Amino acid sequence: MREPRYPAVLFDLDGTLTDPFVGIVRSVAYALERVGHAFPGEEALRAWVGPPLQASFRAYLGDPALAARAVAAYRERYGSVGMYENTPYPGIAGLLGALRSAGTRLFVATSKLRGPAEGILAHFGLADFFEAVSAPEPGEGAHKAEVIAALLPRLGAHRAHAVMVGDTVYDVEGARANELPCIAVGYGFGTHESLEQARPLAIAHSVEELWPMLLA
């Protein structure tokens, strides 16, 4: 049996456990159509995966009131359809199972709202791997440092040797703000340049590369 390198691992959701791109793109397109604004194209939306949704709409639309309407329209579609237009990355379920079998405590720390986050994990058969999920409720802030901090009391003595795994600079910076190392994954939505500049503990370019970083 493999030995765990860390007693506790915190995973991001979007871009780390599952690929949400199709559902996000279609839901953003729906939201922008509802507020009468042009769709920027799929490639431009890659940068929207990870940061808080409200901030992305505000930056793109420039009008807080219009952005709020767009967010509401996005959630209307995403909550009923878009969250299921999603795919777990190949090998993720096997990795989570191996980690649990090795005795690793597993958690999810995501900026996605709790309802969709827990719904996605349940729908794709991943929920039972995790001890707890930290995610904002509607109306709460979604800064990654705060999301991670909410899990720390549960870690107890394992906090000193825990690690965060995520695909963007927000994961690296959020972990660092809580004095945790972060392993970045390069198969998600953060660019290689931005991840290197964020100085994570390591970068795994595939789920296969992640295995030996978490299991000896």
CA dihedral 148, 154, 159, 163 (to 10 degrees): -50
Pair type for strands 87-88 and 18-19 = antiparallel
Beta strands of 83-125 (E only): which ranges? 87-88, 105-109
Six-digit token pair at 209?
């590369």
CB 184 within 8 A of CB 171: yes
| Amino acid in position 137 | E
CB 183 within 8 A of CB 213: yes
Q: Which residues are catalytic?
A: 12
Half-sphere exposure of 118 (CA within 13 A, CB side): 10
Q: What is residue 116's three-state secondary structure?
A: helix
Give CA separation, 67 vs 44, 51, 62, in Å.
17, 15, 8
| Amino acid in position 61 | L
